[in-house]
Chain A
Amino acid sequence: MNRPQTLAEKILSQKAGRPVSPGELVVVEVDHAMTIDSIVPTVIDRLAYLEAEPWDPARVSLVFDHVAPPANVNVANAQKKGREWARRTGVNFFEVGRGICHQVLIEEGIARPGMLIVGSDSHSTTYGAVGAFGTGMGATDIALAVATGKTWLRVPESVKVVVRGRPRPGVSAKDAALEMVGRLGADGATYMAVEIHLEDGAEEAFGLSERMTLANLAMEAGAKAGLVVPSGEILRRYDIPGWLYPDEDARYEKTLVIDLAALTPRLSAPFFVDNVHPTAEYAGTPVDFVFVGTCTNGRIEDLRQVAEVLKGRRVAEGVRLLVVPASSEVLKQAMEEGVLQTLVEAGATVGTPGCGPCMGRHLGVAAEGERVVSTANRNFRGRMGAASAEVYLASPRTAALAALTGRIPGEEENP
């Protein structure tokens, strides 16, 4: 009999063609390799050095999202190089404006349950929302995967996170995700897989979008993968391979339980993502700039929450609100639903679908000393521009309230 396995062990055993155990270094087949505008030039250079072509162009994707549209000539040239490579090799190619890589791969149905997906972006853990083992790697790793169709991995131990119950009004998956990172710590899951179980109502309360938020933030606890056990909406949307479930008595390094019924809004204060507190502790802190978007919280579900708060109202005097939809699909749906109209009437600026100023390169970076409320996943010093800018990570609803009042909301506004 094989020993009981976690979800991560199940997927990697499948890819290795034999049962594997935590701690083993294995060479495994990959199902898909993804890269982005800012990394692809290095991937191309490495492939040239290896004298290799993509092993299977249909299983490689290039997405232009990180500095899209290009902010300067260097970036434009890098994108030109990537674009020409994509045309020549026939890999899947998604132009400027299509959206953030992780969002696009899920929307396009490229990321599916049971897959092993390697991406040259650390938040490739997001694919765990559909029950895929997604993991971030550097340019050379991606080039090696594109060339050989394989990668090497250390089979990770797993941490089990049980998210149970139904959230109170005004509390979202982002609050649960921040709570998870706060309690695990920035290195609480280093080298490990975070396996998220949604139970007692959470499996229906949290659909695909919310699962993406959770799997995305797992990275900020250092995780190699953030796998949400398929349930609820995922079962209805995808064919789930029969083997894709963790065994009953699989071994976990630790187990964390988050009770949604007891959870209040959370924020992550500068300059570490695991610096998580109840939002109310920071109530009244003045805010200069609010950013809604990113692979964490730039989806239609997120924009709807912002629109709900801002409907018929205006952003506070002296506050800038920037909304960057995660993809062209999100943008289109926001137009169709009138969400975009609400946001623009409230005074929001809307950016090109993509990463926006998430990593401080373009399209709205923060000035010295500014305070930012952002729905993103990172608040390291200098991440969004000036080194002295303070970035507070929070839910779309908290961000909307901050835009409305110019201050971090307290208990009364944000139950």
Chain B
Amino acid sequence: MNPTPHTSRVWKFGDDINTDDILPGKYAPFMVGEDRFQSYAFAHLRPEFAREVKPGDLLVFGKNAGLGSSREYAPEALKKLGIQATVAKSYARIFFRNLVNLGIVPFVSEEVVDRLNDGDRVSLDLATGRLVRGEEVFVLDPPPPFLLEALKAGSMLEYVRRHGGFPGG
């Protein structure tokens, strides 16, 4: 987890964004190349996204974010583009796991999602969940301790690499 909050842009998407929206299957790494697939993130939905997104930008989703295929290269494309955190009203299960495994912090908040707008400039402290927009401060609940322990190590993958097993297991 990157402890230093910095200003980033909010990219806001709606409800039920599926993994085909995030990375269309035909742009899978083994179809277009390991080094290029991230440049097709949101290719159908927001063709400008991959070009304009900056590392540390915040992705905001409505409910059931990342439903659909278990393909991990959807969140991996986001990771490669420098996304460190997402906020959603709710997540599809596999997408949520993939975010934790790869080290993108998956915050959940109905209220914050409703209040944020596409294009907002915000700063987010990943460790505390403190989100600042201009004068306004929102607090996002951190993930449960089991997941937080993994995310503090960088990701679940990183945790198991270092410890040879899961937190607490």
Q: How far is the CB of B33 from chain A (nearest CB, A)?
A: 7
Contact B94 A38 (CB under 8 A): no
Contact A75 B44 (CB under 8 A): no
Given A148-B160, A152-B146, A222-B93, A136 contacting B28 (CB threshold 8 A)? no
Taking CB atoms, residues of chain A closer than 8 Å to B166 are 27, 144, 148, 150, 152
Given A38-B30, A75-B30, A137-B97, A147 contacting B160 (CB threshold 8 A)? yes
Stretch from A90-98, A258-266, A323-331, A378-386 forming part of the interface with B: A378-386
Contact A381 B20 (CB under 8 A): yes
Contact A360 B25 (CB under 8 A): yes
In this assembly, does B82 line the interface, its C-beta being within 8 Å of a C-beta of chain A? no
> Chain B CB within 10 Å — which of A27, A120, A141 has the most?
A141
Q: How far is the CB of A93 from chain B (nearest CB, A)?
A: 18
B87-106: CB near A (< 8 Å → 1, else 0) gives 00010111001100110000
Contact A42 B168 (CB under 8 A): no
A366-385: CB near B (< 8 Å → 1, else 0) gives 00000000000010111100
B6-58 residues with Cβ-Cβ distance < 8 A to A are 16, 18, 20-21, 24-26, 28, 30-33, 44
Contact B90 A152 (CB under 8 A): no
In this assembly, does A187 line the interface, its C-beta being within 8 Å of a C-beta of chain B? yes
A52-82 residues with Cβ-Cβ distance < 8 A to B are 72, 74-75, 77-78
Contact B18 A380 (CB under 8 A): yes
In this assembly, does B157 line the interface, its C-beta being within 8 Å of a C-beta of chain A? yes
In this assembly, does B161 line the interface, its C-beta being within 8 Å of a C-beta of chain A? yes
**Category for how many chain B residues contact A:** 35 or more
In this assembly, does A405 line the interface, its C-beta being within 8 Å of a C-beta of chain B? no
Taking CB atoms, residues of chain B closer than 8 Å to A383 are 20, 25
Taking CB atoms, residues of chain A closer than 8 Å to B26 are 360-361, 382
Taking CB atoms, residues of chain B closer than 8 Å to A143 are 157
Give A26's nearest chain B residue, CB to CB. B169
In this assembly, does B125 line the interface, its C-beta being within 8 Å of a C-beta of chain A? no
Contact A140 B20 (CB under 8 A): no
Provide the bound-state CA to CA distance between A138 and B63, in Å.
20
Indicate which residue in A46, A74, A187, A360 contacts B92 across the interface (CB closer than 8 Å).
A187
Given A138-B72, A140-B102, A190 contacting B168 (CB threshold 8 A)? no
In this assembly, does B2 line the interface, its C-beta being within 8 Å of a C-beta of chain A? no
In this assembly, does A6 line the interface, its C-beta being within 8 Å of a C-beta of chain B? no
Contact B144 A25 (CB under 8 A): yes
Provide the bound-state CA to CA distance between A412 and B151, in Å.
58
In this assembly, does B119 line the interface, its C-beta being within 8 Å of a C-beta of chain A? no
Contact A38 B44 (CB under 8 A): no
Given A140-B101, A144-B157, A187 contacting B90 (CB threshold 8 A)? yes
Given A138-B97, A144-B157, A222 contacting B31 (CB threshold 8 A)? no
In this assembly, does A335 line the interface, its C-beta being within 8 Å of a C-beta of chain B? no
Taking CB atoms, residues of chain B closer than 8 Å to A378 are 68
Provide the bound-state CA to CA distance between A75 and B157, in Å.
25
Contact B92 A190 (CB under 8 A): yes
Given A122-B68, A380-B18, A381-B44, A191 contacting B93 (CB threshold 8 A)? yes
> Chain B CB within 10 Å — which of A120, A140, A191, A381 has the most?
A140
Contact A49 B157 (CB under 8 A): yes
Contact B30 A27 (CB under 8 A): no
Taking CB atoms, residues of chain A closer than 8 Å to B123 are none
Provide the bound-state CA to CA distance between A383 and B26, in Å.
9
Provide the bound-state CA to CA distance between A38 and B70, in Å.
11
Taking CB atoms, residues of chain A closer than 8 Å to B67 are 186-187, 222
Give A72's nearest chain B residue, CB to CB. B31
In this assembly, does B64 line the interface, its C-beta being within 8 Å of a C-beta of chain A? yes
Taking CB atoms, residues of chain B closer than 8 Å to A250 are none
Contact B70 A120 (CB under 8 A): yes
In this assembly, does A224 line the interface, its C-beta being within 8 Å of a C-beta of chain B? yes
In this assembly, does A39 line the interface, its C-beta being within 8 Å of a C-beta of chain B? yes
Contact A27 B168 (CB under 8 A): yes
Taking CB atoms, residues of chain B closer than 8 Å to A120 are 70
Provide the bound-state CA to CA distance between A187 and B88, in Å.
14
Contact B30 A78 (CB under 8 A): yes
Contact A138 B24 (CB under 8 A): no
Contact A138 B68 (CB under 8 A): no
Taking CB atoms, residues of chain A closer than 8 Å to B44 are 381-382, 387
Contact A148 B165 (CB under 8 A): yes
Given A138-B71, A190-B90, A222-B67, output 10 extra A-B contacts at Cβ < 8 Å: A138-B75, A140-B72, A144-B160, A361-B28, A380-B18, A381-B21, A382-B20, A382-B24, A382-B25, A382-B26
15 pairs of residues in contact across A and B, judged by CB atoms under 8 Å: A25-B144, A25-B147, A27-B169, A42-B73, A49-B161, A121-B70, A122-B94, A137-B70, A138-B97, A140-B101, A152-B169, A186-B16, A187-B63, A190-B90, A360-B25
By Cβ-Cβ distance, the 7 closest A-B pairs, closest first, are A27-B169, A138-B72, A140-B101, A187-B64, A138-B98, A122-B70, A136-B70
